[in-house]
Amino acid sequence: MTQKIIKNSDGSLQVPDQPVIPFIEGDGIGPDIWRATRNVIDSAVETAYSGKKKIQWLETDAGEKGFERCGEWLPDKTLDTIREYVVAIKGPMTTPVGKGIRSLNVAIRQKLDLYACVRPVRYINAVPSPMKSPEKVNMVIFRENTEDLYAGIEWESGSEEVKTLITFLKEKMNTEVLPESGIGIKPISPQNTKRLVASAISYAIDRGYPSVTLMHKGNIMKFTEGAFAKWGYEAAKEQFGDKTLTETELYDKYNGKQPEGKVLIKDRIADMLFQQVLLRPDEYHVIATPNLNGDYLSDALAAQIGGLGMAPGANIGDECAVFEATHGTAPKYAGLDKVNPGSLILSGAMMLDYMGWNEAAERIRSGIAAAVQAGTVTYDLARQIKGSTEVKCSEFADAIIAQMKNI
Ligand code: NAD
């Protein structure tokens, strides 16, 4: 019997015991890490719920495999399937070069209006890290996914379009731009900012995070990044007035002592926040930010806790959510059963959390931590952990499964 996850009008999910979940295996190392991930997720669900719950996986095509099977890199049928089943998971996909497609990942985000790129960055004990106290890192980035300089509105130097724009700027806006320039446009809107910030605040409230930081470069880009911060504060007041407070209110009304049950909304200039997440990581929790800042910060923070091989991610919209590995297809390792499947496995755990299957998700996180602590790790970690044993991608999954059974 087909069982679908249903999204209620208030955003909550109805999850049957045997939900159908579409997956895109991905290209390059995708099949290796997907196989490992699927085994770990199935085992976690089986052991957490004593066989009462089970995912029915539904393969759906995109990327090279999609192109081979149906002549399209991102078939409409795949997008329809994801919309229909609400929750999906995907491996990395090759960006076709010179095929008129900027990036399949960006296309999926835009076509499904997955406006929040959510990246939890939490340290797993024993993973090698460049930080002195990596255990202080526990942040979740909400990066706006649909606009900013990534909206794809740009024109090449010398093109007719850019010449028209430069003439327009000169004649109508009294603004000089060097005629040889290329130009990109940075749209940031109140409605898209507010829905992103609202989802970050709701996440902080639901998970008990004490603060949401609005990261921006508004001291320079006042009407885009500055407006992002302003609209972010407005969203907090309008939608979560009784559950949030600003730093000014914290000091004026509460003498600097944060009251129980209220999330602190603060804002920080982007370059300063890059320093702060290194120097005082425990002062930052949920971070909401426009697209470009979020892209940089996500990878920088991932490095602080051991690199992209262990960083999970998801793209979430009002209609559906896609959980994904945060690294690329690493073509030179394709089919070698060698790379670290940790990113996709942890994204699988995020997916289970999103479905409300938290026991299974927690089991996966504990299982990974135990496997790393036991020193059974893939090459990328083995070369950094003294005395560890290098195992294959599939064997790392087996080690996690074995550890989960002891939990
Ligand atoms: P990449 O992330 O694929 O690989 C860079 C290097 O990182 C690899 O050579 C490898 O040394 C290491 N690495 C990556 N994943 C690893 C893992 N799981 N375990 C251990 N080491 C790992 O980046 P790239 O080489 O810039 O991109 C290759 C392709 O992937 C391109 O076509 C690019 O467009 C695409 N890409 C896709 C996504 C996505 O689907 N989300 C993201 C980034 C890049």
What's the CA-to-centroid distance between 88 and ligand 1, angstroms? 20
Radius of gyration for the alpha carbons in the chain, expressed in angstroms and rounded:
22
Ligand 1 contacts CB of residue 92 (under 6 A): yes
Are 303 and 359 in contact by the 8 Å Cβ rule? The answer is: no
Ligand 1 contacts CB of residue 90 (under 6 A): no
Written as one letter, the residue type at 167 is T
What's the CA-to-centroid distance between 328 and ligand 1, angstroms? 3
Name the residue with the closest Cα to ligand 1, atom 10: 330
Burial of 323 (0-12, 13-18, 19+ CB in 10 A): buried
Ligand 1 contacts CB of residue 330 (under 6 A): yes
What's the CA-to-centroid distance between 86 and ligand 1, angstroms? 26
CA nearest 277: which of 313, 305, 314, 309? 305
- In eight-state DSSP terms, residue 80 is H
What is the pLDDT at residue 375? Answer: 93
Ligand 1 contacts CB of residue 315 (under 6 A): no
Query: Is-catalytic flag, 354?
Result: no
Given the residues 271, 282, 332, 405, select the one marked as catalytic.
271
What's the CA-to-centroid distance between 285 and ligand 1, angstroms? 27
Name the residue with the closest Cα to ligand 1, atom 40: 92
Given the residues 85, 150, 209, 354, select the one marked as catalytic.
150
Q: Which residues pair with 301 in a beta bridge?
A: none
With vertex at residue 207, the alpha carbon angle to CA 279 and CA 132, rounded to the nearest 5 degrees, is 20
What's the CA-to-centroid distance between 114 and ligand 1, angstroms? 22
pLDDT in tens, the chain (407 residues): 569 999 998 889 999 999 999 999 999 999 999 999 999 999 999 999 999 999 999 999 999 888 888 888 999 999 999 999 999 999 999 887 766 667 888 889 989 999 999 999 999 888 888 999 999 999 999 999 999 998 889 999 999 999 999 999 999 999 999 999 999 999 999 999 999 999 999 999 999 999 999 999 999 999 999 999 999 999 999 999 999 999 999 999 999 999 999 999 999 999 999 999 999 999 999 999 999 999 999 999 999 998 777 889 999 999 999 999 999 999 999 999 999 999 999 999 999 999 999 999 999 999 999 999 999 999 999 998 889 999 999 999 999 999 998 87
Write out the two tokens for 203: 């996440």
Ligand 1 contacts CB of residue 328 (under 6 A): yes
Backbone φ and ψ of 331, nearest 5°: -55, -30
Written as one letter, the residue type at 227 is A
What's the CA-to-centroid distance between 312 and ligand 1, angstroms? 14
- The answer to pTM > 0.85 is yes
Question: For the sheet containing 116-122, what is the strand order?
Answer: 56-59, 20-24, 87-90, 321-325, 312-316, 116-122, 138-144, 286-289, 211-216, 263-269, 244-246
Ligand 1 contacts CB of residue 305 (under 6 A): no
What is the pLDDT at residue 1? Answer: 57
Q: Which helix (H) or strand (E) holds 322?
A: strand 321-325
CA nearest 62: which of 6, 117, 104? 104
Written as one letter, the residue type at 375 is G
What is the pLDDT at residue 2? Answer: 61
- In eight-state DSSP terms, residue 328 is -
Given the residues 53, 186, 194, 217, select the one marked as catalytic.
217
Are 314 and 347 in contact by the 8 Å Cβ rule? The answer is: yes
What is the pLDDT at residue 4? Answer: 95
Ligand 1 contacts CB of residue 74 (under 6 A): no
User: What ligand 1 atom has the least distance to the C-alpha of 332?
Assistant: 9
Are 166 and 183 in contact by the 8 Å Cβ rule? The answer is: yes
- Dump the DSSP string for 254-288: HTT-PPTT-EEEEEEEHHHHHHHHHH-GGG--EEE
342-354 helix and 393-405 helix, angle to the nearest 10 degrees: 40
End-to-end CA distance of the chain: 32
Query: Is-catalytic flag, 150?
Result: yes
